[in-house]
Structure formats: C-alpha cells, structure tokens
C-alpha cells in the first residue's frame, strides 16, 4: 500500500477513481465538500436535502458530478458536527476505505484528515487514515483453498488531500500509520491462524523472520533445555502437558548506530506477551462451546511481535525488547494438577488451584527474566481473564499498574490512537485473596475481582522496575460472524513507544 499527500489547490480538478468528502448530519458541509458543491452548482446540498442524512458510518456515491474531475465523489457521513471527534474521524476514514475495497478501486483520495477535530493534530488524523486503510485491506486466506479465495483488494494507493504547508506533518503521520497497520496485520494474522499451525515453534520462527527482514532486530529462541537451565519452573509446569515444545522468545530492537555501553544510553523498554497458542484449560478444562477461540490466547505475544515490527519499520530511536513465553495448555498425564506446588524463576512457590489460570504462570517467569535488562519500564500484554471482559466488555483494554506516570502515558497513547484502555484498581488489600497455606501464593484469588487478583499475582514479580499490565481478553479478537483478531493493542503500544523515543 502506498500513501501520499495531495496538495493540488483545485480540489474539483483532481482526477481519481474515488474522492471522499465529509458531510455532517445537521446539513453542514466540510470545507472540501463545500468546494465541490460550489464547483457543481449546489449538487451536494441538493443531495443532502433529499437523499442523504449523513449519519455516522454511512456513505453515498455520486458519479459524474458536473464540474468535478473525480470519477466518484463519496459523501462520508460524519454525524453531528458538535459531536465530531477523533473517533468519528476514524469511523469516517474506515467507511471510505471499506467502500474502496468493496468497489475494487485501485487508488483514491481522502479529504477527511483536513477537517479540524477537537485537539487532534493533523499528524494524528493522517496516522489514523493509514491505520484504518490497512485494517480495511487485511484479508485472511492462509488456510483457504484457492477456489474459495476472495480476490485480493485492488486498492494500492491512498492520497490525503491537505494544504501544501501541512505536507511534512501529514507525511509523518502517514508513515507512522502505515507501520502501525503493518504491525496490526501481522498480529491479526498470527491470531487468526489455526493452533495446529501457529504453535510456539511457529511464533519463534516468525521472530527469526522479522530479524532477517529488519537488521535492527535480533531474535533468540530458547528451547526446553535452556528454559530448564533458567529454572523457569512455573512456565515449564504449564508446557509439560503438551506434546508441542515450549519456546521462550527474545526479540531485541536496537536503533541503528546505538552503542549498548554508551553513557547516555537510555534503559530499554520491555514488552512481555502471553504466548499460549492454545488454551484448553488443562485439567481444569474449559467448556467445549467456543473453545476454538482459545487459539487467540496468544494475542499478547502476537501484539509484541506486531509492535516490534512497527518499531523496526519506523526506525525508532529507543531500544525495545520483546519477551514471549509460549506453550500450549492441555490436559494430559503430565499436566499440572489442582493442588500442585511449583517453583518460579524468582524462587517463589505457587500453589496451583486452577490450571486454567495458566497465563500468569508463564508470565511471572518472563517478568523475572526481564530484570536482567534493567528496564526503564516493563509492560505485559495478555488475554488474561474473562473477568476483565465482564468488567469492561470489548471496548477498553484493562490497565493495571503500580506506577502512575507509566499508567497515564499508556492511557494517553490509547486516547491518541483510539485504542483505549481503562485503569483498574490494584490496592494492596486484594493481595490477601492470593494467600495459600502450602505455598508463597495461590495462582487464583477466587471469583471476586478476578482480573484484579490476576494483576496482583503478576505484580509480585515486578518489584524491580516500573510495570504495567494490559488485560486484552475483551479487545484482542471479535466473536460471531465477524470472528477474527483485532490487532489491538498495537496502536496503543506503538504510540507509547513513539512518545518515549521523542
């Protein structure tokens, strides 16, 4: 996909297969729509009076408009003007991108980013243009026969129409948005792949392929013997129940020209992704209904790989390290049993009361491993608890943190990209629910506040650095007829890293 800026002063003279202009539900035309209306002797206002209500997420196609060179004018409904914000802009761009894909147009021009919207910058708006276009053109066909393949989208080029003086800012936003889109689509593909293909080994090979594609990335994949040597007893206890071997993936991004020993070197930021490539629950087996969706239990790992891909494409000026503990959680004669006690890499012992609370068992050892990098911050990303879905639904990612500054930076990144999170409590009083008579802690705290006690468990392994936990159980994928990975929270993570590198 190619993104560019279009700075032609005469909007009505632009020759393109599809030209998007925004209109508001209260009959108000955006500046670009007003320009075309005047060029066509009031044709747009006539349509608004009779045919198009301009509600959000709607569009109307006008062809062969007099006085306008574009083949099609796409009127994009933006809702009421007084409610127009960054989310409405993203919805408008997605409406236009989806139309372009369905109409099989090869190139198009959008004017939507030129519309002022709250305190959103042009850079943020053009970033959103590229992001949602990538979302619209994503197509899963990895396991479909050639007969059932949908034709590949013909859309190859999107231009953003803006003032010539704004071109540099717009181009920065487009570049960022394209990198985020590429990272999201890698995350989506890994999530959508079936679990017999996307195994821990497959995730490790994906990291190695990224390292070959980008010279700033270095991948290391540790197998069972190396994991045993690290004494990751908690992680290995989960992996033991499966025939598939575990993998501990370390993917390290180092900016070009950076010297690890330099005195002014900033400490790295570490991302830790839960990589359970299939979660049957182990001995505490899940209900059969919807268990197929447990292939998405590695979306935390997928988001780390997608984020590192975007970071490498953007040539970020800050060191970032991705850690992925990956295995399957299956019932077998060698699997964890309720009542087992295991020893984590930190030396702390854990009583396993429910084998389906396995994500925290693999993450805790990765969080201990992260200490060796003396990180500026550690963020773990995991489809950790159904309780978070009950609390927040599918809109906000659950954010837990022991560090207010880190939490606010992540919340702000989510607001800027509309990949939103909501901060949840992490009071010390919740820790009491993890008390065990037979180990240093239990791996569950009972039904009350399930997402909070899961975060409390992880927090016990993060005393050495600023830490945040993103529970993406409600936001990593969609169910039903639109079942598929969402690519979240790659936009949030990349925006956070951009802010830390600036």
The answer to whether the CB of 469 falls within 8 A of the CB of 455 is yes
d(CA 108, CA 89): 17
DSSP bridge pairs for 421: 397
Q: Is 360 a catalytic residue?
A: yes
Cα-Cα-Cα-Cα dihedral of 382, 386, 392, 396, to 10°? 20
- State how far the Cα of 72 lies from the Cα of 19, in Å rounded to an integer: 6
SS3 content of the chain, % helix, strand, coil (to 5): 40, 20, 40
| C-alpha span between 142 and 145 (Å, rounded) | 9
Give me the catalytic one of 80, 175, 286, 348.
286
Token pair recorded at residue 168 = 């540099």
Q: Which residues contact 141 (CB under 8 A, 6 or more apart)?
A: 149, 150
Q: DSSP letter at 73?
A: E
Contact indicator for 378, 403 with CB cutoff of 8 Å: no
Choice among 318, 360, 460, 488 that is catalytic:
360
Cβ contact 96:60 at 8 Å: no
Question: Are the beta carbons of 69 and 40 closer than 8 angstroms?
Answer: no
Q: What angle (nearest 5°) sits at the alpha carbon of residue 211, between those of residues 406 and 462?
A: 30
Residue 401, C-beta contacts closer than 8 angstroms, at least 6 positions apart: 407, 410, 423, 426, 466, 467, 468, 469
Looking up tokens 């299956």, which residue turns up? Answer: 330
Query: Which segments of 333-485 does DSSP mark as H helices, in order?
Result: 359-369, 386-392, 404-417, 450-459
Question: What is the torsional sign of CA 136, 277, 227, 440?
Answer: positive
Is the backbone of residue 257 left (phi > 0), alpha (psi -120 to 50) or beta?
Answer: left
Q: Within 193-264, where are the H helices?
A: 200-213, 224-229, 233-239
DSSP labels, 178-213: HHHHHHHHHHHHHHHS-TTTS-HHHHHHHHHHHHHH
Positions marked active-site: 286, 360
């Amino acid at each position: 996909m190619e993104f560019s800026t279009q700075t032609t002063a005469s909007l009505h003279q632009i020759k393109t297969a599809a030209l998007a202009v925004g209109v508001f539900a209260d009959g108000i035309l955006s500046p670009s729509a007003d320009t075309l209306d005047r060029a066509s002797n009031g044709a747009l206002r006539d349509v608004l009076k009779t045919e198009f209500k301009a509600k959000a997420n709607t569009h109307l196609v006008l062809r062969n408009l007099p006085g306008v060179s574009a083949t099609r004018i796409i009127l994009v409904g933006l809702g009421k003007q007084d409610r127009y914000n960054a989310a409405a802009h993203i919805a408008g761009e997605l409406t236009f991108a989806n139309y372009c894909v369905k109409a099989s147009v090869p190139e198009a021009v959008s004017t939507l980013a030129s519309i002022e919207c709250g305190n959103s910058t042009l850079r943020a708006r053009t970033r959103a243009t590229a992001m949602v276009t990538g979302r619209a053109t994503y197509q899963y066909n990895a396991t479909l026969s050639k007969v059932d393949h949908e034709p590949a989208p013909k859309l190859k080029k999107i231009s953003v129409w803006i003032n010539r003086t704004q071109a540099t800012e717009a181009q920065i936003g487009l570049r960022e948005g394209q990198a985020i889109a590429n990272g999201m689509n890698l995350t989506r593909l890994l999530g959508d792949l079936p679990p017999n293909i996307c195994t821990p080994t497959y995730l490790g090979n994906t990291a190695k392929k990224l390292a070959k594609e980008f010279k700033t990335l270095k991948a290391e994949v540790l197998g069972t013997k190396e994991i045993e040597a690290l004494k990751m007893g908690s992680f290995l206890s989960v992996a033991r129940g499966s025939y598939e071997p575990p993998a501990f993936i370390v993917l390290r991004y180092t900016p070009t020209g950076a010297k690890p020993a330099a005195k002014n070197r900033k400490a790295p930021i570490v991302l830790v992704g839960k990589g359970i490539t299939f979660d049957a629950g182990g001995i505490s087996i899940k209900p059969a209904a919807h268990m197929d969706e447990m292939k998405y239990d590695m979306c935390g790992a997928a988001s780390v790989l997608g984020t590192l891909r975007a970071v490498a494409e953007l040539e970020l000026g800050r060191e970032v390290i991705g850690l992925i503990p990956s295995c399957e959680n299956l019932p077998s004669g060698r699997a964890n049993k309720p009542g087992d006690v295991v020893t984590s890499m930190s030396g702390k012992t854990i009583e396993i009361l429910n084998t389906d609370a396995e994500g925290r068992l693999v993450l805790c050892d990765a969080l201990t491993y992260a200490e060796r990098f003396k990180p500026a911050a550690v963020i773990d990303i995991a489809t950790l608890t159904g309780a978070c879905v009950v609390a927040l639904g599918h809109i906000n990612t659950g954010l837990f943190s022991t560090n207010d500054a880190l939490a606010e930076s992540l919340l702000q990144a989510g607001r800027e990209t509309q990949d939103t999170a909501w901060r949840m409590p992490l009071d010390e009083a919740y820790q009491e629910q993890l008390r065990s008579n037979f180990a240093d802690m239990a791996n569950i705290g009972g039904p009350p506040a399930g997402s909070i006690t899961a975060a409390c468990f992880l927090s016990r392994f993060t005393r050495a650095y600023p830490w945040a936990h993103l529970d993406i159980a409600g936001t990593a994928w969609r169910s039903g007829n639109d079942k598929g990975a969402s690519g979240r929270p790659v936009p949030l993570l990349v925006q956070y890293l951009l802010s830390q590198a600036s």
